[in-house]
Chains A and B, each alone.
Chain A
Amino acid sequence: MIKIFLIFILLASSSFAIAKDKPKLRWGADVESGAPYSYKSPENPDLVIGFEAEIVEALAKELGMEVEFVQNSWDGLIEGLIRGDYDIVVNGVEITADRAQVVHFSQPYYYTSESLAVRKSNTDITSLHDLKGKRVGTLDASLAQKILNQQPFQITTLGYDEEVLCYGDLILGRLDAVLLDEPIALYYAKPNVDLKLVGGPIGYMEYGIVTRFGNPEFDARIKKALDKLIQDGSIQKILERWNLWNTSTAKVWGQSPVPQTRPEAYEKYLETAWGKRTLLEKIKNYISFLPLLAKGAVMTLELSIISMALAMFLGLCAALSRLYGPAPLRWLSVTYVEVFRGTPLLIQLYLIFYGLPHVGISFDPFVAAVLGLGLNYGACEAENYRAGILSIPKSQMDASQALGMNWFQSLRHVILPQAIRVVIPPVTNDFIALLKDSSLVSVISMVELTTIYGQLASTYFDYLGLGILTACVYFVIGLPFVRLSRYFETQLTTSRSTPPKAVK
């Protein structure tokens, strides 16, 4: 039965591969990195925009391919590429010697540096040297972090995995300065009235297109196409639209550093993300997010319901094995419960999705998500059911057996019906917990409610308002189940305080 279930899931979730004339160029990126790299369009949240989105679009056109965007969180981008979930990564990935050991880089499509941002009121920090003894935020595993760590004096470096949260903490006073890539500073720090950029460009880095090893032809085609786009000025035009045309890049490509095109994309971004809005406009804005959040909510619900069904099945099997099975089955059940209950869900998800392929077992993200959630919560359910069954007095089993029922009949007709009533509250609890834990699957490139929140919040730099909205959505989608469980509880309660109506 479970096999049919899983096959159904696989079919339902696999992308509809409608035969098209053009082959797909699968591009992996983390939309939560935000502007100006790749982020969800405020107008059409299904669309990914940004200067890199445009570069990839142009690249695909040049290669005669069609872009297929695959979301994955920043942590897992390289892993996902190596796994084969997508074929290129274009997401502000700096070309470094370390990375070049595991993946292949194209020639750079952009040259930039780091920018130092401080609060507007700050007067004592104007350059890198002034950071001595200060608290400085940056992106984890980035060049900026390296630069900070290499300074001859002591700096308290705090690594974030969300760039925009850095600036948030800077404004709040948790940090004294933030060192991040120029494009990020241009879009998130400069427009902010509470912050200012100080000092000149720091360091030097190149962004490249990342591919797996082992495809020299593909890499050669990309190189050729990118060369052409650089030569004919397409890349320059894109960069100019986004206000990213700088001296470093101009120098390498032998062009004038003065931009020829209006930075319309940058202006549009400023208007949407930083434009002053009245309360009414803000509310309208939030309402416009609801369809996107709803889409995420549907995925969250789908995931949660299917995973919970799996968990309940596994839990019942494990509980019955532990209570009534022969010694080897009992041992298996105990081991399953202890292992899956005692290790973090997040690590289990990573292992299933990123680890297993190394031994030849590869899963679709949806299947991996259901397996991870199902196995983890199955262990919790096993204990719930075991407690429920144990709470039924042994005398009930005595009575049913004395009447001639065998073990299975006793369980089915006498023990389990009573045990179900006992376990409804903890099982409901577990379902709500699973609903919330489903947010973790964003790390295995599943797009659900929390992922959408992250994307919107980073685009609009609005963690609070959107956060409250998302929390409300979670609460609302959990309500029907709470109601359902309460209904079951009252229906199945064994004590009746008033006699029932006489029938016949």
Chain B
Amino acid sequence: MASPLPSLAKATTAPAVLVEDLRKSFGATRVLDGLSFEAAPGRVTALLGPNGAGKTTTVACCEGLQRPDGGRLQVLGLDPVADAAALRPRVGVMLQDGGLPTGVGALEALRHVAGLHTHPLPVDALAERLGLTSFARTRVRRLSGGQRQRLAVACALVGRPELVFLDEPSAGLDPQARLAVWDVVREARASGVAVVLTTHLMEEAERLADDVVVIDAGRVVARGTPADLTRGPAVLTFVARPGLPRESLRLALPVGADVVEDQPGHYAVLGIPADPRVAATVTSWCATHDVLPEGLGAQRRTLEDVFLDLTGRSLR
């Protein structure tokens, strides 16, 4: 029976996934370097990280597809390798590379996976919700990337799992398909399913996840709710005509302030927290310079700002 209050369920139930100090190397390459996190029932946990951060390897260890070199790993209280047979019916998996049988029609593949379970979701309803009906009879090998993604999400959920791993569920999806997938994921969460997804899409982590685990170079560099992660001093921003004398405004502000023009006409006051006095100073400076500041207000840092601060800007 699902708890009507997922947030309470978190306090009273054991974690669906418990990862402590996970280590894994492929040859000389250390992929997981002491990674730890938890995922709770009735919550969406996003593993967020740049390419090659170790997200897929982490999930593969949780799915029993990879054996970690060290650390502690519990999935629904069990060992993913030793208790694989007990876990398989209770855990849904969507792999990044798909792994769907290619020589059959889309819904035939979904029906096949459904038939391996005792109480699967009705295939037609699931197909309708994820927009699979328009290509129901198309061979899997002829599907577009986005169509395959949605089919793979359906295959992960069709057995009514307690825990579902989705490796980059919205990669290659158009906005409508992404919303459809997100809706189904939210419904699974509301039913008490623990959802663990990997993503490098900020928007996905910000809008879908309850808990975000930021991974870089095989370690957790930050975790918390999206609100936690983006908490911190807000920054005062406004829009006005390009090319204002920023030095003059800086001198009018308290010591430590800096004024930047990120894009032409978009100004931000950095170095000092946004507060009413700063706002008043900016407003009066603008008045004396015959400038109307539009959209003047305190701007939260986005998850993307936090992510780039934590993982750097170099390309992987």
A and B interact: no
Chain B residues with CB under 8 Å of chain A are: none
Chain A residues with CB under 8 Å of chain B are: none
